Structure formats: structure tokens, C-alpha cells
Structure 1
Amino acid sequence: MSTQFDTQHTHTDDTHAYGQPTASRRAPRHGGNGPSGYRIAAIVIGTVIAAALIVLAAVGLTHITSTSTPAPAASTSVPAANPAQPTSPAQNVNPAQPTTPAVTPSASVKKLQQELGQLNYYEGPVDGLMGPQTVAAIRDLQRQAGLPQTGTMNAATQKALDNYLAHGNNQMGGNS
């Protein structure tokens, strides 16, 4: 705040020569000379809002950066370990955000789920994803066919599935 001196008019009160109050005079505060509680609250609330906006902007930028980064191509060769350089682009990613490759639905898994569903082995969504329900259905089929219960499709499991689809099995009637 700057102090201005009026050299033409000398006044002992805080008014101009025309009877108007000076701009530097503030209204008296309730309870004393300190800053008002409303002003402090407004500053605190404004600071909190500004901090929240900064955090939201940082999170948004981090999310945009992590989702727009293309997935690294799969490599069959293993590079020599060099502590000065990362061995893959995935090591440069923020450790707070784990990177998992996007799982795309498979037409063959979708068909398998439909076929297992026809035989009452599978009751989950037909989404083309090899999830725990699909693996459990394959194990049930393998158990019913007297095969090792691996939960993965192989030639023997496919043959049993084809046989049950062609000739039926006791699962179709709901009996276990």
C-alpha cells in the first residue's frame, strides 16, 4: 500500500477536501484490528479448491499420457542386461500404474463358451475371454470325459467336446 501526501490540503481527519472518505480507510472489523474471519475462510477455501484443481489436472494428464502411449511390441529375443539402459519400454512407465496388456476377445474362445454352454458346463457371459469360468467349464468337461483336469483345451478335450456335442451327455439333462 502506498502512502500519498496531499500538499495542498492538510486534514486531520480521513476525508478529502470535498467531504468524501479517503479510499485508504477500511471499514472497522468486528473484534479488533486483525483480518476478518470471513476473509481468512475465503482464502483457505480458495486455496483448497486451487489445490484440488491442480491434483485433478495432474491425474488427468497422467491418465491421458498412460492411455495414449502405444503398447510395446512383443519381442522374441532377450537383450543383454545393461544396468545403464532399461531392457524394455515398459520399465520407463510409472510404477504406481501397472501396465497390463489389453485382452482382446477371441472368436474361438467365444465359440468354445457357446459349445460348453450348450452342454451346461458354462453359464458365464459369452465374451470371448478365457476367464476363470471358462477354465472351470473346461475342467468339468475333462472330469466328465475322464481326462486330466488341466483347464486348457487340447486335442483330447476337443475330441470329447465334439463327441458330447454330437451324441449328448448326462450333463445336458442337468444330472451331475
Structure 2
Amino acid sequence: MELLSYESLIRRLKELDEEASLRFDSADRLSLIIVGGSALILMEYISRATHDIDAMEASQQLQDLLQDYDINMNVQTYTDNFPYNYLDRVEPLPIKGKIIDFYTASLEDIVIAKLHSYRDKDFEDVCSPQVLEALDWEKLHFIATSDDEAKASSMNEFRHGEFLSRFQEYEERYRP
């Protein structure tokens, strides 16, 4: 599997859109919500490459095509890492699809999901200078601490407590 840079991610998504437009003769727009490192790359906050594209949501019609384009829906297993209302904050990507509208979770929601992870790569991503500078720290704090957001999606109190501890350390160290 090749490593995907910004350019190859864009190319891959455009190829998916092209194939979808040939397969589906529909006036309905399809959607794909990208998360994780691939979202941060596409948002131009980090410059590393990735092995795949993590998608949290995709139109049903696209499901059979995703694997051919290294789009991974297994991230849905970690849905509790994403704040409860993350769909309210998705952001469109500037990719003009013929049939697919491409989105990412908000930067703040991605940071929260990555802080739930204990992988070094995820922590490095959220500590990049571009991410730290672009964050809306007030929004991040609200989403992380509100009962209706990160807490509402947590599997249990213990897991939420672990996240809050990690978030507080991150905020104390990096918030301007």
C-alpha cells in the first residue's frame, strides 16, 4: 500500500467521485466525511503521508467503492472518540465533486478524537504548530468539557475521565 500525500489524497478522492458519477445516475448528491490524519492532511494542518483515508460517514451508495480507494470505514468502531454532535460541525473540503460532497470533521473534533487515542502519531498530529495555531481553543474546551459533547459519546465514566485528564494536560501545555 502506497503512502498517500496531500496530492495523492486529492487524486484518490477525485477518482472515487469520477467512478461514482459513472455508476450512479442520480441528481442526489452523495457525501463522505473524512476524519483522522487524512483529514488533517487535506485541511493542510500536517504534511505527513498516510496509509489510508479514514471516513466516519459515507452515503450508502458509496460503500462498495470505498475499499478500492483505500477508504477505511473501520474508524466507526471508535465512534465514542468523537463528540456526540460532531456532525453539526463538519466542514466542506474544497474539492468540486461531480456527485460527491467531501467533508471533514472540524479541527476541534479531530483533536478530541486523537486525544482519546494513545498512539504517539496521533499526539504528534495534534501538537503540530499549524494545528495549535488554527484551533479555536474556546470551542475545543466547550466540546471537551460539555456534558452534551465528548462526555455524551464516551463509553463510560472511567474512559471519559482518562480523556479529560489527557485533554487538561494538552490544554495546559499548548493553549496560548
TM-score if structure 2 supplies the norm length?
0.20
The higher-RCO structure (CA 8 Å, 6+ apart) is: 2
Larger radius of gyration: 1
More helix, by proportion: 2
More strand, by proportion: 2
